[in-house]
Amino acid sequence: MKLMLDANILLDVLQNRQPHVRASSLIWKICECGQATGYVSSLSFANLVYVMRKELDPASIEDVYRKLSLLFRWADLSQSDLSRAAALRWNDFEDALQAVMARRLGADYIVTRNVSDYKNSPIPAITPEELLRIMAE
């Protein structure tokens, strides 16, 4: 199974966001154990560094990058991704990018806590809890 992970799933764990950290941590574990391949957009990494800028010094950024690289695969942003996302004309361009990248990668799901942001996505968006239910079946 291929999963495109939204930045909020990473931030839940990195910032110990309650009550979301438990389910998001289990998604990380699923990827770590090889039950699924987790993809993270390089843009998402840049965004999480921005969100966590007060918590991260340059050495910490490198450490977070290295640790995430052990668990997830990086999805580079391409020119065609930009073009396809712009053509979608969604209100949130970043979400449109996630959707077109997930499609290009052949992802089964986009894992996010903001499912409503992906209502027009070609790849279904599900919450961590929904994915855990699917995997338990």
- The alpha carbon dihedral of 49, 94, 21, 109 has a sign of negative
Taking alpha carbons only, the member of 21, 25, 22 closest to residue 38 is: 25
Q: Dig out the tokens for 115 from the structure.
A: 């499912």
> What ranges do the domains of the chain cover?
2-136
- Residue 75 pairs with which residues in a beta bridge? 41
Q: Tell me, what's the pLDDT at 51?
A: 92
Decide yes or no: CATH 3.40.50.170 for domain 2-136.
no
Q: Tell me, what's the pLDDT at 46?
A: 93
pLDDT digits (tens, 9 = 90+) for 101-123: 999 999 999 999 999 999 999 99
Reported as a pLDDT band with limits 50, 70 and 90, residue 10 is: very high
pLDDT digits (tens, 9 = 90+) for 30-76: 999 999 999 999 999 999 999 998 888 989 999 999 999 999 999 99
pLDDT digits (tens, 9 = 90+) for 77-87: 999 999 999 99
